[in-house]
């Protein structure tokens, strides 16, 4: 039995699904609580913990029963039918390959930095929960992202601990004969060998590559050493390994995804390698292969400013990809560079990875509704003369994996109200169950959560003070800071100027008055890192440390160094209010505030990213006027004043306004409504549902259609594009007429087709949207065959529209049309009536 239990523990330790299982956490804590608290790595607990202690625990029948129960629950969950299996039992979608530069799955696998990895990790987890056949592809960094120490002067120090693979919950990938699977890709001068690994994430896997192979040239071994480190050349090498090496790894494992999901442009080289692989299989040229394979590629952009995309000098692309383009794709370097340029003929223009991703994908998605608007503006230059509303970027708002971010208290609360996973249900079960809970129960839950946070924050602060060289007395005094009964605000994220982490410091005296109010005190917990190369961001950290150490704020504000997934969990479990103050519209989505929802925390945020679509007075608070402003200094002052006003006039009175039983009923009402209406809506389960229905299933269908008969439809798409390119300059309107009818207006146009078949085109009437609504577009009907009653080479089209707006609002236009093609993504031609 002991051997079976040890096998079950190993099984749990090597499946990152146990990272969001509170029952499994109790097992590791029992085996070695100090080691568990320090590493949060069950594999390390089993590998380096006391074998005597583990043996003693396994000799205890009660512990063995707990192990068997947790392991049995895991096996039952993995074998139970999931949403995808029941909703799409005979789907053509068998595999989605999800490429990302980083994945935040667990503290035990530190290959993440922040938001991008958070989204990737949470979506991979939800894919497992829902049974969607997703497999992750990423890089194994030997150092990962930096760890932070705050020195005694308030400066940020960056350190890079080594990620020893034998201490990580990963295993080598092996060939059929048991050998370690190693891949080779060519870099200038010599090839690089890639080692391959896998991490188990419930029903799915994360495949990882690293270059730290002893057979490599020393410089090549360090390619995957550090996340977001080094200069452009190192970044290019990493992205070559991710995109090209990642797709080759899938092929080597016999995995042939219908859909390739690019989580940001870092992985865009995968579209080239996918096309190359299919060229070898089908015998088609690169243009045909790209036309066929792009239908199964989805690009999700996370960047809110054009300068945020990775760009590489043309010379660097030629150096690293010239031979690949020539020998692998059958094109020259200029043709390759054109895929990453806005202006293909500008030889000085850099190669933009986002442009490559767009030109290699069948769909493009942003990560919130507002970010969709911003992205359409950013990419509008690729679609000249198209209305910005029709630039082909849709959106799927991000969400968070609720089981990863709920506290043990929250899990118990939800399980009692409506089952622990009711937030996954689209039928409103979450709202019904949570609304049944009494004010007293919700307030008790909030008080317990806040008290647990204060205890954890004190311990973390004391440890980091000792690390930074403070005396034992100073570190010991941390145990007296903060009060578990006081309104607790949280602010934690990457320290960058656009996130405005110092907005409250714009009026430091007012902040001190807010914090030290004797009747209604407030306390603030802050955490965050600035990139080692971001000196302005590091200066923002120093300003907070100076404020804390140099004023009476030291009893009301603490800064938790080394912000990581563990610190984030503690904060979102316990804060009463999560504050977010980005400069609109630079927060593409933001997910930190979503994590407090399941835990009963409330949001006070700028109307940016997800909060711009989630906010309502019944669920939280907002600042800003939902507009973008250029005068940054003046608007920062206005937003700071607004933030203080909301805190002083609404947040604080609501928290301290108690009934006879000591319950703040107005506060609890907001808690209940936030939990009931927002938790499921902003979960990664909903996001993965959306991606599956809108993109994965249609993308798989279209890819299979295009590749059939050795790419017959792919060739058709390519030929269609060629006809459009050749004829479009000669296409023209010969006449437009309008008449009034009893039911509205009737328009008729004559169009010179320039030899194009009429089925290649759609002739439409277009009118701009009114009062924020979308544009109105009406298809015009072909009246007979070209030449029938029209001038030679022309065709007549007609459409009737209602008279609910002036006839002069309508303009005729011509756009490409082909069944299954994405317009204007695959053909950006457009002709307007002059």
Q: Each residue of 287-321: pLDDT tens digit? A: 999 999 999 999 999 999 998 999 999 999 999 99
Q: In the structure, what pLDDT confidence band is assigned to residue 402 with cuts at 50, 70 and 90?
A: very high
pLDDT over 90 (residue 477): no
- Provide DSSP, 636-680: HHHHHHHHHHHIIIIIHHHHH---TTS--HHHHHHHHHHHHHHTT
Q: Do 258 and 703 form a contact (C-beta atoms < 8 A)?
A: yes
pLDDT at 338: 97
Task: Out of 3-12, 699-708, 730-739, pick the least confident.
Answer: 3-12
For 575, phi then psi, to 5°, come to: -70, 150
Q: Do 230 and 146 form a contact (C-beta atoms < 8 A)?
A: no
Nearest to 278 by CA among 264, 291, 261: 291
- Provide DSSP, 673-702: HHHHHHTTTTBHHHHHHHHIIIIIHHHHHH
Q: In the structure, what pLDDT confidence band is assigned to residue 786 with cuts at 50, 70 and 90?
A: low
> Would you tell me how many other CB atoms lie within 10 Å of the CB of residue 800?
15
pLDDT at 114: 85
Cα 597 from Cα 574, distance rounded (Å): 11
* Cross-strand partners of 762: 815
Q: In the structure, what pLDDT confidence band is assigned to residue 787 with cuts at 50, 70 and 90?
A: low
Q: Higher model confidence: residue 689 or residue 475?
A: 689
Region 613-630 average pLDDT: 92
Cα 146 from Cα 153, distance rounded (Å): 19
Cα 211 from Cα 240, distance rounded (Å): 12
Q: Each residue of 440-450: pLDDT tens digit? A: 999 999 999 99
DSSP class of 169: S
Task: Calculate helix-pair angle for 61-79, 2-13, nearest 10 degrees.
Answer: 50
pLDDT over 80 (residue 781): yes
- Provide DSSP, 164-195: -GGGSS-EE-B-TTSPBPEEEEEETTEEEEEE
pLDDT at 180: 95
Task: For residue 471, give every residue at least 6 positions away whose Cβ sits within 8 Å of its Cβ, in sequence order, or none.
Answer: none
Cα 762 from Cα 816, distance rounded (Å): 6
pLDDT over 70 (residue 326): yes
pLDDT over 80 (residue 425): no
pLDDT over 80 (residue 11): yes
pLDDT at 713: 95
pLDDT at 428: 66
pLDDT at 97: 98
Chain centroid to Cα 261, Å, comes to 12
Region 372-393 average pLDDT: 97
Q: In the structure, what pLDDT confidence band is assigned to residue 1 with cuts at 50, 70 and 90?
A: very low
Q: Higher model confidence: residue 433 or residue 255?
A: 255
pLDDT at 371: 97
Read off the tokens for 737. 């007429």
Q: Each residue of 483-495: pLDDT tens digit? A: 999 999 999 988 9
Region 761-771 average pLDDT: 93
For 200, phi then psi, to 5°, come to: -85, 130
Domains of the chain and any CATH numbers: 2-79 (no CATH), 93-398+695-703 (3.40.50.2000), 427-682 (3.40.50.2000), 731-832 (2.60.40)
Q: In the structure, what pLDDT confidence band is assigned to residue 467 with cuts at 50, 70 and 90?
A: confident
Q: In the structure, what pLDDT confidence band is assigned to residue 202 with cuts at 50, 70 and 90?
A: very high
pLDDT at 552: 85
Q: Each residue of 517-535: pLDDT tens digit? A: 999 999 999 999 999 999 9
Asked whether the CA dihedral 12, 16, 434, 82 is positive or negative, the reply is negative
Read off the tokens for 378. 């950013």
Rg of the chain over all Cα atoms, to the nearest angstrom: 29
pLDDT at 22: 92
Q: Each residue of 448-463: pLDDT tens digit? A: 999 999 999 999 999 9
Q: In the structure, what pLDDT confidence band is assigned to residue 398 with cuts at 50, 70 and 90?
A: very high
pLDDT at 543: 94
Region 48-70 average pLDDT: 92
Q: Each residue of 792-803: pLDDT tens digit? A: 889 999 999 999
pTM over 0.85: yes
Do strands 776-779 and 620-623 pair parallel, antiparallel, or not at all (unpaired)?
A: unpaired
Three-state DSSP at 358 gives helix
Cα 112 from Cα 115, distance rounded (Å): 9
Read off the tokens for 22. 């509170």
Please provide the average confidence, as pLDDT, over all residues in the chain.
94
pLDDT at 621: 98
pLDDT at 485: 97
pLDDT over 80 (residue 507): yes
Of 544-553, 633-642, 824-833, which one has max mean pLDDT? 824-833
């Amino acid at each position: 039995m002991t051997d079976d239990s040890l096998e079950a523990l190993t099984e749990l330790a090597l499946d990152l699904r146990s990272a969001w299982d509170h029952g499994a956490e109790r097992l590791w804590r029992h085996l070695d609580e100090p080691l568990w608290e320090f590493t949060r790595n069950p594999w390390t607990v089993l590998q380096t913990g006391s074998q005597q202690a583990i043996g003693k625990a396994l000799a205890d029948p009660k512990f063995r029963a707990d192990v068997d129960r947790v392991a049995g629950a895991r096996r039952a969950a993995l074998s139970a039918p999931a949403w995808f299996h029941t909703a799409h039992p005979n789907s053509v979608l068998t595999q989605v390959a999800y490429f990302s530069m980083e994945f935040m799955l667990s503290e035990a696998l530190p290959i993440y930095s922040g938001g991008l990895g958070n989204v990737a990790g949470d979506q991979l987890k939800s894919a497992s929960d829902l049974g969607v056949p997703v497999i992750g592809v990423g890089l194994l960094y030997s150092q990962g992202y930096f760890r932070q120490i705050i020195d005694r002067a308030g400066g940020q120090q960056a350190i890079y601990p080594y990620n020893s693979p034998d201490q990580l919950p990963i295993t080598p990938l092996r060939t059929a004969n048991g050998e370690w699977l190693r891949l080779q890709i060519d870099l200038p001068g010599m090839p690089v060998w890639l080692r391959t690994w896998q991490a188990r994430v419930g029903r799915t896997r994360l495949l990882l590559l690293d270059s730290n192979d002893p057979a490599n040239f020393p410089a090549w071994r360090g390619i995957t050493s550090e996340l977001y480190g080094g200069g452009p050349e190192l970044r290019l090498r990493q992205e070559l390994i991710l995109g090209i090496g990642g797709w080759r790894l899938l092929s080597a494992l016999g995995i042939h995804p219908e859909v390739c999901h690019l989580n940001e442009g870092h992985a865009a080289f995968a579209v080239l390698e996918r096309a190359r692989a299919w060229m070898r299989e089908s015998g088609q040229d690169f243009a045909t292969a790209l036309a066929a394979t792009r239908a199964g590629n989805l690009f999700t952009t996370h960047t809110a400013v054009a300068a945020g995309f990775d760009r590489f000098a043309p010379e660097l692309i030629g150096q690293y990809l010239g031979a690949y383009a020539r020998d692998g794709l059958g094109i020259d370097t200029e043709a390759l560079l054109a895929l990453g340029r806005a202006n293909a003929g500008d030889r000085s223009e850099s190669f933009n990875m986002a442009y490559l991703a767009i030109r290699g994908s069948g769909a493009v998605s942003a990560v919130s509704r507002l970010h969709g608007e911003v992205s359409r503006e950013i990419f509008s230059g690729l679609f000249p003369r198209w209305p910005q509303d029709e630039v082909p970027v849709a959106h799927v708002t991000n969400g968070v994996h609720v089981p990863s971010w709920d506290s043990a208290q929250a899990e118990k609360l939800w399980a009692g109200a409506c089952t622990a996973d009711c937030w996954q249900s689209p039928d409103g079960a979450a709202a019904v169950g949570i609304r049944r809970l009494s004010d007293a129960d919700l307030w008790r839950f909030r008080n317990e959560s806040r008290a647990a946070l204060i205890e954890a924050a004190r311990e973390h602060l004391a440890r980091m003070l000792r690390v930074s060289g403070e005396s034992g007395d100073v570190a010991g005094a941390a145990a007296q800071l903060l009060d578990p009964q006081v309104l607790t605000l949280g602010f934690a994220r990457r320290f960058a100027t656009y996130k405005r982490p110092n907005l409250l410091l714009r009026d430091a005296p007012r902040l001190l008055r807010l914090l030290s109010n004797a009747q209604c005190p407030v306390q603030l917990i802050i955490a965050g890192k600035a990139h080692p190369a971001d000196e302005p961001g590091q200066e923002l950290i120093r300003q907070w440390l100076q404020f804390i150490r140099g004023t009476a704020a030291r009893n009301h504000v603490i800064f938790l160094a080394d912000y990581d997934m563990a610190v984030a969990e503690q904060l979102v479990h316990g804060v009463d209010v999560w504050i977010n103050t980005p400069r609109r519209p630079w927060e593409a989505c933001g997910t930190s505030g979503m994590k407090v929802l399941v835990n009963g925390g409330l949001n006070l945020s700028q109307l940016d990213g997800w909060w711009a679509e989630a906010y309502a007075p019944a669920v939280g608070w907002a600042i800003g006027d939902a507009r973008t402003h250029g005068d940054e200094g003046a608007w920062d002052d206005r937003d700071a004043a607004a933030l203080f006003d909301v805190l002083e006039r609404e947040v604080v009175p609501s928290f301290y306004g108690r009934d006879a039983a000591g319950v703040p009923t107005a506060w609890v009402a907001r808690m209940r409504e936030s939990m009931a209406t927002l938790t499921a809506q902003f979960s990664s389960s909903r996001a993965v549902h959306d991606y599956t229905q809108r993109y994965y299933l249609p993308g798989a269908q279209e890819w299979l259609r295009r590749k059939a008969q050795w790419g017959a439809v792919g060739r058709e798409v390519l030929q269609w594009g060629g006809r459009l390119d050749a004829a479009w300059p000669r296409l023209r309107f010969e006449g437009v007429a309008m008449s009034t009818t009893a039911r509205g207006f009737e328009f008729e146009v004559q169009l010179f087709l320039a030899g194009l078949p009429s089925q290649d085109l759609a002739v439409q009437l277009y009118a701009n949207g009114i009062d924020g609504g979308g544009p109105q577009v009406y298809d015009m009907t072909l009246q007979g065959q070209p030449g029938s009653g029209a001038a030679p080479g022309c065709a007549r089209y007609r459409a009737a529209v209602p008279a609910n707006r002036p006839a002069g609002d309508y303009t005729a236009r011509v756009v490409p049309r082909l069944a299954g093609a994405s317009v204007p993504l695959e053909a950006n031609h457009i002709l307007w009536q002059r």
